[in-house]
Amino acid sequence: MAKSKASNLQYIEPIGARVLVLKDEPKRETKGGIALPDAAEIPTITGRIVTISRLVEHDEHLPLRQYDKILFHPKNAIPVDLEPDNQLYVVPVEDIVAVFRKDKPVSDE
């Protein structure tokens, strides 16, 4: 059986306590409308979870779900080099510092 040419990746599954994040675009201007030069870009550390690992999915103490918007520390984020304008990163859950929610979670008390 002949091997086919390199196949395109269709799905990326993070392993361990990690999530795959689509990083938000960096800000190009302030809220007041002032355009920022490239050198003064505010580093963007927010994004949407694209995929979560099985470990994270089954951990009831991690309130992370697919499509959550998160705030993360980019130091340990690993870029997934699939395209030149890559915005995908594998992020360890310990580097996720916040999850944006529309409603406050209901307390169990």
| 37-69: pLDDT as tens digits | 665 555 668 999 999 999 999 999 998 999 999
| 81 burial via Cβ count (<10 Å: 0-12, 13-18, 19+) | exposed
The domains of the chain are located at 18-100
| pLDDT tens per residue, range 8-39 | 556 788 999 999 999 887 666 666 777 666 65
pTM over 0.75? The answer is no
17 Cβ contact partners less than 8 Å away, ≥ 6 residues apart: 53, 55, 56, 59, 62, 92, 93, 94
Choose the CATH number for 18-100 among 2.30.33.40, 3.40.640.10, 1.10.10.60, 1.10.287.3510: 2.30.33.40
